[in-house]
């Protein structure tokens, strides 16, 4: 536990840690309620916005609150018992309220069809909103929220990662952060709000908490390394939903690029995926059993977390190589921040880099990538037979997606499981208070966003961003209502009309 500093370097009413949608919402709301807000962000200004900024920027909006509750309960499945009924009711109410709040900030909500679990109770309420008529992504909603932060007197400090919470008795009274290589203490007279995202970029935490996926990489921000989970745990927070991730998707991770890249698969047909034993394990392509339903798969009538038999290789022939670029990136972190790797149309540059291995025969290729030559030869020959008959008895690829791998040379690209985001973190209640392991709220500590998200299992797309706004507002309002720990404290920030 960190000692309470005798003197503080800085002082404010509310410290918000992490500038994504959740932190922005909490800061806007607290500021509008008259609190003086400092927003700490670990990344440099050019990389601000976390997963929020690089996301598809779509929001799940339950058109009816009661049906929203039913849909949430259906998706939570066996994990429902862990979530209080009043928490779910508040979630549904505030998710419904998001639309009006966002319109007030300047969003033009446009509905798009995207009901992920149409068979579930309450699914009739599902609407998914994007900002304006254009495509999804493109920071379209982020820019609305960023502008709302910019026009308020919210002090943002970039490259200032928080690394510890300061507790005095039972109250959280400040934060220790790092700026310019120095440790600084910031007193929070009313409260601290944790909004610093999940642990997508912390391989050790991913291995600890996520079963069956030992080599996961993020497609979003590399700055979310679970700092909020560590800080909250150190002062006794209870954790929840640590097992739940949106993923895996099958992607490619180049050593030189900090995040994984999406694949551009279905342009050709003579390709397949194999596990370490040289066998196929899925219906390759898009859509396929990997990557749909945010990483959950229905087997034997039961929804389960998708796992993957890594290492995985994509095997293809010369005809497939010539059919188009295999790698691409869409709305991920690398593209938004302008580092987008320009994958060559004929995939030759990636062969030169050694990312794609090449051999004259399937047997030689197998040796090159450390797979049993007999097993790979058997798999390719069986796949070629299926392509010849137009029927994939093993994994159900459709006839028009199949072609035999017959034109040498043959190639292998190692694929990696990637994830969109984690859901786990400190448990919060309906007031957005962080809950301690004794079941009581940790005083003056709030949270919002994917850090300790409410989602324990199946996930409706748009749900995370919706939750950022819903619980970001609750955290901001409740934090600003806390009585200041110093009497003559608040200079306040002028309320700015939304």
Ligand X SMILES: Cc1cc2nc3c(=O)[nH]c(=O)nc-3n(C[C@H](O)[C@H](O)[C@H](O)COP(=O)(O)OP(=O)(O)OC[C@H]3O[C@@H](n4cnc5c(N)ncnc54)[C@H](O)[C@@H]3O)c2cc1C
Distant-in-sequence, close-in-space partners of 133: CB < 8 Å, separation ≥ 6:
110
Structure tokens at 107: 């969003």
Using the minimum distance from each CB to ligand X, give the nearer residue, 109 or 462: 462
Q: Report the residue from 36, 42, 127, 313 that binds ligand X according to the rule CB under 6 A.
A: 42
Using the minimum distance from each CB to ligand X, give the nearer residue, 341 or 395: 341
Q: Which of residues 361-420 bind ligand X (CB under 6 A)?
A: 420
What is the smallest separation between the CB atom of 143 and ligand X, expressed in angstroms? 14
Q: How far apart are CA 258 and CA 4, in angstroms?
A: 37
Q: Report the residue from 33, 92, 162, 191 that binds ligand X according to the rule CB under 6 A.
A: 162
> Of the ranges 8-16, 104-112, 189-197, 205-213, which one interacts with ligand X (CB under 6 A)?
189-197
Within 10 angstroms of residue 490's Cβ, the number of other Cβ atoms is 16
Binding mask of the shown chain, residues 463 to 492, with x at each position contacting ligand X by CB under 6 A: xxx--x------------------------
Q: Does 91 sit near ligand X (CB under 6 A)?
A: no
Q: Report the residue from 26, 27, 33, 54 that binds ligand X according to the rule CB under 6 A.
A: 54
Which runs of E-coded beta strand occur in 309-458? 312-317, 356-359, 410-419, 421-422, 425-426, 433-435, 441-447
Pairing of strands 155-157, 126-131: unpaired
* CA 302 to centroid of chain Cα atoms: 24
Q: Are 216 and 417 in contact (CB under 8 A)?
A: yes
> Of the ranges 109-117, 148-156, 376-384, 461-469, which one interacts with ligand X (CB under 6 A)?
461-469
Using the minimum distance from each CB to ligand X, give the nearer residue, 41 or 482: 41
Q: Does 332 sit near ligand X (CB under 6 A)?
A: yes
Distant-in-sequence, close-in-space partners of 450: CB < 8 Å, separation ≥ 6:
22, 51, 197, 198, 421, 422, 423, 425, 464, 467, 468
Q: How far apart are CA 343 and CA 256, in angstroms?
A: 13
Q: Report the residue from 28, 43, 76, 479 that binds ligand X according to the rule CB under 6 A.
A: 43
Q: Does 197 sit near ligand X (CB under 6 A)?
A: yes
Q: Does 40 sit near ligand X (CB under 6 A)?
A: yes
Q: How far apart are CA 247 and CA 329, in angstroms?
A: 16
Cβ neighbourhood burial of 106 (10 Å; 0-12, 13-18, 19+): middle
Query: How many of the chain's residues bind ligand X (CB under 6 A)?
Result: 43
Using the minimum distance from each CB to ligand X, give the nearer residue, 55 or 270: 55
Q: Does 52 sit near ligand X (CB under 6 A)?
A: yes
Q: Does 17 sit near ligand X (CB under 6 A)?
A: yes
**Which residues of this protein are in contact with ligand X, per CB under 6 A?**
17-23, 40-43, 49-52, 54-58, 161-162, 195-197, 219-221, 223-224, 227, 331-332, 420-421, 449-451, 462-465, 468
């Amino acid at each position: 536990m960190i000692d309470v500093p005798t003197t503080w370097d800085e002082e404010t009413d509310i410290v918000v840690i992490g500038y994504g949608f959740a932190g922005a919402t909490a800061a806007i709301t607290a500021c509008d309620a008259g609190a003086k807000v400092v927003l700490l962000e670990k990344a440099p200004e050019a990389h601000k916005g976390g997963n929020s900024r690089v996301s598809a920027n779509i929001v799940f909006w339950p058109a009816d609150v009661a049906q929203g509750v039913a849909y949430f309960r259906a998706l939570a499945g066996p994990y429902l018992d862990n979530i209080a009924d009043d928490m779910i009711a508040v979630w549904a109410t505030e998710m419904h309220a998001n639309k009006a709040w966002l319109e007030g900030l300047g969003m033009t909500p446009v509905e798009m069809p995207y009901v992920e679990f149409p068979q579930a109770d309450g699914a009739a309420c599902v609407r998914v909103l994007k900002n304006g008529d254009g495509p999804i992504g493109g920071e379209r909603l982020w820019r609305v929220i960023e502008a709302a932060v910019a026009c308020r007197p919210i002090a943002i400090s970039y490259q200032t990662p928080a690394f510890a919470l300061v507790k005095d008795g039972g109250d959280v009274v400040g934060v220790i952060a790092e700026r310019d290589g120095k440790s600084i203490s910031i007193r929070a007279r009313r409260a601290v709000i944790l909004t610093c995202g999940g642990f997508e970029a912390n391989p050790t935490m991913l291995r600890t908490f996520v079963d069956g996926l030992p080599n996961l990489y993020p497609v979003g921000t590399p700055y979310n390394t679970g700092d909020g989970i560590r800080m909250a745990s150190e002062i006794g927070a209870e954790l929840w939903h640590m097992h739940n991730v949106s993923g895996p998707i099958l992607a490619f991770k180049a050593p030189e690029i900090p995040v994984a890249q999406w694949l551009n698969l279905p342009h050709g047909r003579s390709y397949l995926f194999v596990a370490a034993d040289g066998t196929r394990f899925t219906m390759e392509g898009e859509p396929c059993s990997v990557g749909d339903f945010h990483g959950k798969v229905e087997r034997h009538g039961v929804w389960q977390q998708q796992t993957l038999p890594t290492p995985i290789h994509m095997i293809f022939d010369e005809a497939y190589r010539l059919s188009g670029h295999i790698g691409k990136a869409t709305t991920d972190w690398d593209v938004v921040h302008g580092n987008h790797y320009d994958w060559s149309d004929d995939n030759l540059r990636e062969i030169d880099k050694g990312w794609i291995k090449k051999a004259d025969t399937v047997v030689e290729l197998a040796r090159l990538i450390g797979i049993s030559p007999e097993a790979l030869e058997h798999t390719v020959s069986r796949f070629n037979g299926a392509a010849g008959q137009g029927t994939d008895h093993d994994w159900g690829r459709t006839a028009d997606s199949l072609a035999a791998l017959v034109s040498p040379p043959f190639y292998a690209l190692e694929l990696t499981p990637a994830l969109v985001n984690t859901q786990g973190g400190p448990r919060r209640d309906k007031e957005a208070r962080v809950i301690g392991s004794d079941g009581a709220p940790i005083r003056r500590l709030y949270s919002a966003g994917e850090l300790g998200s409410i989602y324990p299992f199946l996930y409706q797309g748009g749900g995370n961003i919706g939750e950022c706004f819903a619980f970001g507002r609750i955290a901001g309002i409740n934090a600003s209502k806390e009585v200041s720990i110093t009497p003559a404290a608040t200079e306040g920030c002028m309320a700015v009309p939304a």
